[in-house]
Amino acid sequence: MTPGFLGGMALLATLVFSLVGLVLCGLAQWAQDRRYLEAARRVAPMSFLAALVSFGALEWALLTHDFSVRYVALHHSTKDPLWVTLVTPWAALEGSILLWGTLQTMYTWLVSRRVDAGGASAAPVLDPWRAPVALGVLFAIQVFFFAVMVFVAHPFDALPNPPADGRGPNPLLQNHWMMAVHPVLMYLGFVGLSVPFAYALSAMVARRFQSWIFETRWWTLVAWGFLTAAIFAGAWWSYEILGWGGYWAWDPVENASFIPWLLATAFLHTTQVQERRGMFKPWNFAYITLAFAATVFGTFLTRSGVIQSVHAFADGPVGALFLVFLLGVLGVGLGLLSRVSSEVRDAGEVRWKSREGALLAASLLFGTMAFVVVIGTLWPLVVEALSAAKVSIGAPFFNQVSAPVGVAALLLMGIGPVLPWRNTGPQIRRNLFILGSALLAGTVLGLLLRLAPGASLSLGLLAYNLCAVGLMVDQGVKERSSSLGISRWKAFLELASSSRRRFGSHIVHVGFALAAVAIAFSQTYRFEEAKTLRLGQRWQSAGVELTLRKVGLEEQGNRQSVYALVEMRAVDRRGLWADGTYITRLNFYPQMGNQGLAAPDLKYTPYNDYYLILQAFDTERGEWATLKLVVTPLVLWLWIAGAIMALGTLYILWPSPQPQRERAAGGAPA
Amino acid sequence: MSSVARALLGLLLALGLSALAQPPSPTPPPDLSPEVFRIAKGLRCPVCQGESASESNSGVAQEMRRLIAEQLAQGKSEAEIRQFFVERYGPWILYEPPKQGLTLWVWLSPLIGLALLSYGLWRYLTATRAKAAQGDVSEEEIARLEAELLPPDTQHRTP
């Protein structure tokens, strides 16, 4: 048996299992018979296993250099290091769809374990009214992905005349180990959104509009956490490797990953209103449909070739299929919503000056930003269609429009959680005064330090948000210690372990405010300059002095690496902690011909990052090298902020030691 | 001839670098000030996929940076330099779309988005308030609530 044969059969088996699952779910729904549901529940692990076998077969083909498989011949070479071989399944179109599909079967299997099978499972949270639809939707998504693979983008297509060696994956993808992390996190987040989407559809079909929000809380947070981690990981990757010293370029595909995050964030905030006040049901249905559709939209953008991007894989029929799928998702989600819209009308009054008012306003901001990113990404196509003119919409535009939205979000983030539900109380004046003072103090301090207005404001907003968290924790601790008669410290520990959602969201919010500071400073004070140095020549710039010591060449496995050895030392305060020896490289891969791929050297410090790129070199005698120096402040804090946000999410999701108490307090039945 | 030079020549031969991305002659590229990169950041690299002339290391982007440095040295203003590139490549070269014509809409998109969503929210909140003021529950809703409160087994046929 060959890996290609095994993989092809496993793919087909997954498609069949998915179809069987879908049909069984349909029968369960139509005949209202639990036996079909039970059977469908049992099909889910089988499709997961079959998909795993298929994925394993692709790894097997890669590890054994089976070039009779077209995918292996095109994207693998015998010289690839082991880790590159292991991550090659998601280095190109067919394999990345396989990864997506496999993760989808995993989520379907996890959901199937939640189905109430008549008291068999310990904590059933998917009742038999909605289970057929929820599982059916997930099976239907699986059917789409595996049908695309079986009929259009087959990862195990055979090559009649296999070559002796392949071309290897795109060099850009093998230049950094983040390739092993970022795409998987992204897909875990994208696919994770399918679960709340499926629950939402089932809720609309079964006309049970409330409980799905509680039941998918865990799933939504998991997906959101993965999306957040993936976006930061991707930003860090591009900072380390793309060789321009930036972390976010508003590239169409970066945008495509940002849109689901924005909509999922909006959804996460409005679900709180539904949980607490039973309101906003139609908006939640709409938001989750749009968030899931946005993940498909991103795939459509990358796979269709309609938009130029550094991430684009290929054009072909796959893009068109994803467009159809996208329209299907939107049609079903919004169609169902319009069908039940007369029933989901909520009753109640919302005051703007209340927790729910702030949550709604936050969701408005995130929704607006998602709208702007969609329009900005697609508008060049619209302009071209309407006037045949070509325009570009890039970073300068997005930076300008996102700044005010970000400031508004940061302002809301501080005041929102301090406000009580339903109505403001008398203590709000005092809180507002404290928060306003913190904001003012931080901003004025920044201005006194002669910082730019934007950077100063970001400092003020960080102080304001830290202060808000302090106020909330202080209030909670006071209440608890006086009502239970325990010490403040003990009350704090109890609060932190029992209200994980509150504490976790505080942590995430602090991370967000810190990220805003890092972004404001790194965007405002980024410095870059390029200069050609001869061996031994010194160059003073941005508070550092560079000396070019050596230009050399190394053979590294499947690539040739030209490097420049540079000594750097600080000459004034601006060059704090810059001292060191830097080796910056240009890597030459056989697939890329004479186009070198930069592997910059950089030093992270708590203050400035020193980033050195080799841009050109003397090919004849190695006597000079052109170096680009990029000095950017506080970028390190962006990665710390990302880690804080991910840890905050993890803190919420971490299984609670006191499930009873949590549930009684309206906590997470996750 | 130093060993470095020999190694680099070896690299040239091994890769067939007859036309390097860097100029093959030993003339180094010009020095570029922060101002050059700042201007280049607003210009698209015409042969790249979604990269600016400041970031890309392609030949065209290098040439663009050289042109910017040259024109700055001649004392041209940023606007004049941008105009130079627009005349060469069309408005497509600018990463910041003009605030006129069809691309004005993009600049207005935050306001449009916010207005649309706010209008939707306002309509929704007015409806919910009206419904809350009405205060009564329709028979249909009571029936549905009762159905929801019954245990599943009474509705579903069990094997």
Average pLDDT over residues A491-520: 92
Supply the pLDDT for residue B2. 45
- Which residues of chain A does B2 touch, with a Cβ-Cβ cutoff of 8 Å? 621-622
Supply the pLDDT for residue A596. 82
Note whether A394 contacts B7, CB cutoff 8 Å: no
Note whether A391 contacts B96, CB cutoff 8 Å: no
Does the pLDDT value for residue B119 go beyond 50?
yes
pTM of the model: 0.90
Average pLDDT over residues B4-30: 53
Q: Read off the pLDDT band of A631 (50, 70, 90).
A: very high
Average pLDDT over residues A65-93: 91
d(C-alpha B83, C-alpha A140), whole Å: 53
Q: Which of A373, A548, A553 to mutate to test the interface with B (most CBs of B within 10 A)?
A: A553
- In the chain, the amino acid numbered B17 is L
Q: Read off the pLDDT band of A309 (50, 70, 90).
A: low
| Cβ atoms within 10 Å, residue A485 | 8
More confident residue, A46 or A307: A46
Supply the pLDDT for residue A660. 45
Average pLDDT over residues A402-407: 95
- Which residues of chain A does B144 touch, with a Cβ-Cβ cutoff of 8 Å? 207, 343
- Name the average pLDDT for chain B: 78
Question: Is A362:A409 a contact under the CB 8 Å cutoff?
Answer: yes
Q: To the nearest whole angstrom, how far is the Cα of B124 from the nearest Cα of chain A? A: 9
Question: Is A199:A212 a contact under the CB 8 Å cutoff?
Answer: yes
Q: Read off the pLDDT band of B4 (50, 70, 90).
A: very low
Average pLDDT over residues B53-79: 91
CA distances from A78 to A59, A73, A93, A156, A162 (A): 14, 10, 20, 18, 13
Supply the pLDDT for residue A92. 87
Contacts 24+ apart (CB under 8 A), A2-5: A2/A61, A2/A66, A2/A68, A3/A57, A3/A58, A3/A60, A3/A61, A3/A64, A3/A66, A3/A69, A3/A156, A4/A57, A4/A61, A4/A66, A4/A68, A4/A69, A4/A156, A4/A158, A5/A156
Tens of pLDDT along A255-268? 989 999 999 999 99
Supply the pLDDT for residue A155. 93
Q: Which of B1, B95, B145, B155 to mutate to test the interface with A (most CBs of A within 10 A)?
A: B95
Q: What are the start-end ranges of the E strands in A427-543?
A: 527-534, 538-541
Q: To the nearest whole angstrom, how far is the Cα of A288 from the nearest Cα of chain B? A: 16
d(C-alpha A434, C-alpha A468), whole Å: 9
Average pLDDT over residues A431-455: 94
Give the range among A180-194, B8-22, B110-124 with minimum mean pLDDT: B8-22
DSSP assignment of A136-161? HHHHHHHHHHHHHHHHTS-TT-B-SS
Q: Sign of the CA dihedral B75, B81, B84, B89?
A: positive
DSSP assignment of B37-97? HHHHHTBB-TTSSS-BTTT--SHHHHHHHHHHHHHHHTT--HHHHHHHHHHHH-GGGBSS-
Note whether A350 contacts B50, CB cutoff 8 Å: no
d(C-alpha A303, C-alpha A221), whole Å: 27
Q: Beta A559-570 vs A580-588: how paired, if at all?
A: antiparallel
d(C-alpha A305, C-alpha A314), whole Å: 6
Q: Read off the pLDDT band of A657 (50, 70, 90).
A: low
Does the pLDDT value for residue A537 go beyond 90?
yes
Q: To the nearest whole angstrom, how far is the Cα of B111 from the nearest Cα of chain A? A: 8
Supply the pLDDT for residue B155. 45
A596 interfaces chain B, CB cutoff of 8 Å: yes
Does the pLDDT value for residue B136 go beyond 80?
no
- Which residues of chain A does B72 touch, with a Cβ-Cβ cutoff of 8 Å? none
A536 interfaces chain B, CB cutoff of 8 Å: no
Does the pLDDT value for residue B81 go beyond 80?
yes
Give the range among A51-55, A262-266, A576-580, B142-146 with minimum mean pLDDT: B142-146
Q: Which of residues 100-119 of B touch A (CB under 8 A)?
A: 101-103, 105-107, 109-110, 112-114, 116-118
d(C-alpha B44, C-alpha B61), whole Å: 9
Supply the pLDDT for residue B18. 40
Tens of pLDDT along A81-106? 899 999 999 988 899 999 999 999 99
Helices (H), A242-347: 252-277, 281-304, 317-340
CA distances from A525 to A439, A518, A569, A574 (A): 22, 11, 20, 11
Which H, E and C letters describe A416-442, residue by residue? Answer: HHHCCCCCCCCCHHHHHHHHHHHHHHH
Supply the pLDDT for residue A118. 56
Note whether B17 contacts A594, CB cutoff 8 Å: yes
Q: To the nearest whole angstrom, how far is the Cα of A405 from the nearest Cα of chain B? A: 9
Does the pLDDT value for residue B110 go beyond 70?
yes
d(C-alpha A501, C-alpha A495), whole Å: 11
Note whether B1 contacts A309, CB cutoff 8 Å: no
Q: Which of B22, B72, B89 to mutate to test the interface with A (most CBs of A within 10 A)?
A: B22
Question: Is A200:A288 a contact under the CB 8 Å cutoff?
Answer: yes
Note whether A32 contacts B156, CB cutoff 8 Å: yes
d(C-alpha A612, C-alpha A607), whole Å: 16
- Which residues of chain B does A382 touch, with a Cβ-Cβ cutoff of 8 Å? 102
d(C-alpha A173, C-alpha A175), whole Å: 6
- Name the average pLDDT for chain A: 89
Residues facing A552 on adjacent strands: A563
- In the chain, the amino acid numbered B104 is L
| Local structure of A540: helix, strand or coil | strand
| Local structure of A305: helix, strand or coil | coil
Note whether A618 contacts B103, CB cutoff 8 Å: no
Does the pLDDT value for residue A26 go beyond 90?
yes
Supply the pLDDT for residue A384. 86
Tokens 């040739």 correspond to: A560
Residues facing A540 on adjacent strands: A545
Does the pLDDT value for residue A121 go beyond 60?
no
Q: Read off the pLDDT band of B13 (50, 70, 90).
A: very low
Question: Is A416:A347 a contact under the CB 8 Å cutoff?
Answer: no
Supply the pLDDT for residue A276. 87
Does the pLDDT value for residue B143 go beyond 90?
no
DSSP secondary structure code for residue A175 in this structure: S
B12 interfaces chain A, CB cutoff of 8 Å: yes
Q: To the nearest whole angstrom, how far is the Cα of B80 from the nearest Cα of chain A? A: 18
d(C-alpha A265, C-alpha B153), whole Å: 37
Supply the pLDDT for residue A425. 74
Supply the pLDDT for residue A249. 87
Q: Read off the pLDDT band of A570 (50, 70, 90).
A: very high
Does the pLDDT value for residue A201 go beyond 90?
yes
- Pick the residue from chain B with its C-alpha nearest to A403: B110
| Local structure of A610: helix, strand or coil | strand
- Which residues of chain B does A362 touch, with a Cβ-Cβ cutoff of 8 Å? none
C-alpha dihedral (A473, A477, A480, A484), degrees to nearest 10 = 160
B29 interfaces chain A, CB cutoff of 8 Å: yes
B127 interfaces chain A, CB cutoff of 8 Å: yes
- Pick the residue from chain A with its C-alpha nearest to B27: A618
pLDDT > 70 in chain A, percent: 94
Q: To the nearest whole angstrom, how far is the Cα of A668 from the nearest Cα of chain B? A: 22
Q: Which of residues 31-60 of B touch A (CB under 8 A)?
A: 31-34, 36-37, 41-42, 44, 48-52, 54-58
Tens of pLDDT along A316-328? 678 888 889 999 9
For A539, the token pair is 């160059």
- Which residues of chain A does B146 touch, with a Cβ-Cβ cutoff of 8 Å? none
Average pLDDT over residues A133-152: 96
Q: Read off the pLDDT band of A669 (50, 70, 90).
A: very low
- Which residues of chain B does A208 touch, with a Cβ-Cβ cutoff of 8 Å? 148
Q: Beta A580-588 vs A597-599: how paired, if at all?
A: antiparallel
Supply the pLDDT for residue A662. 41
Note whether A527 contacts B34, CB cutoff 8 Å: yes
Tens of pLDDT along A335-377? 999 999 888 888 888 888 889 999 999 999 999 999 999 999 9
Name residues whose C-beta falls within 8 Å of residue A114's C-beta, 6 or more positions apart in sequence: A121, A123, A124, A125, A126, A215
Q: Beta A601-603 vs A608-617: how paired, if at all?
A: antiparallel
Note whether B49 contacts A527, CB cutoff 8 Å: no
A368 interfaces chain B, CB cutoff of 8 Å: yes
Note whether B8 contacts A562, CB cutoff 8 Å: yes
Q: Read off the pLDDT band of A6 (50, 70, 90).
A: very high
pLDDT > 90 in chain A, percent: 64
B96 interfaces chain A, CB cutoff of 8 Å: yes
A342 interfaces chain B, CB cutoff of 8 Å: no
C-alpha dihedral (A425, A468, A233, A530), degrees to nearest 10 = 130
Average pLDDT over residues A18-43: 94
Instruction: Give me the phi and psi of B93, to 5 degrees please.
Output: -70, -20
Q: To the nearest whole angstrom, how far is the Cα of B131 from the nearest Cα of chain A? A: 5
Of A405, A401, A419, the C-alpha closest to A359 is: A419
Does the pLDDT value for residue B156 go beyond 60?
no
Does the pLDDT value for residue A592 go beyond 80?
no
pLDDT > 90 in chain B, percent: 40
More confident residue, A632 or A485: A632
Q: Sign of the CA dihedral A365, A367, A370, A372?
A: negative
HSE of A601 in the Cβ direction (CA atoms, 13 Å)?
17
- Pick the residue from chain A with its C-alpha nearest to B6: A621
Tens of pLDDT along A455-505? 999 999 999 999 999 998 998 898 888 888 888 899 998 888 888 888 999
Q: Read off the pLDDT band of A79 (50, 70, 90).
A: confident
- Which residues of chain A does B54 touch, with a Cβ-Cβ cutoff of 8 Å? 244, 528
Q: To the nearest whole angstrom, how far is the Cα of B70 from the nearest Cα of chain A? A: 14
Supply the pLDDT for residue A603. 93
d(C-alpha A488, C-alpha A509), whole Å: 24
Residue A632's H or E segment, with its range, is strand A624-633
B27 interfaces chain A, CB cutoff of 8 Å: no
Question: Is A343:A266 a contact under the CB 8 Å cutoff?
Answer: no
Contacts 24+ apart (CB under 8 A), B63-71: B64/B40, B65/A530, B65/B32, B65/B36, B65/B37, B65/B40, B66/B29, B66/B30, B68/B36, B68/B39, B68/B40, B69/B30, B69/B31, B69/B32, B69/B33, B69/B36, B70/B30
| Cβ atoms within 10 Å, residue B20 | 20
Supply the pLDDT for residue A417. 87
Does the pLDDT value for residue A639 go beyond 70?
yes
Note whether B113 contacts A371, CB cutoff 8 Å: yes
Does the pLDDT value for residue A667 go beyond 60?
no
Supply the pLDDT for residue A251. 86
CA A391-A397-A399 angle, 5° bins:
150
Note whether B94 contacts A392, CB cutoff 8 Å: yes
Supply the pLDDT for residue A80. 86
- Pick the residue from chain B with its C-alpha nearest to A305: B49
Residues facing A616 on adjacent strands: A626
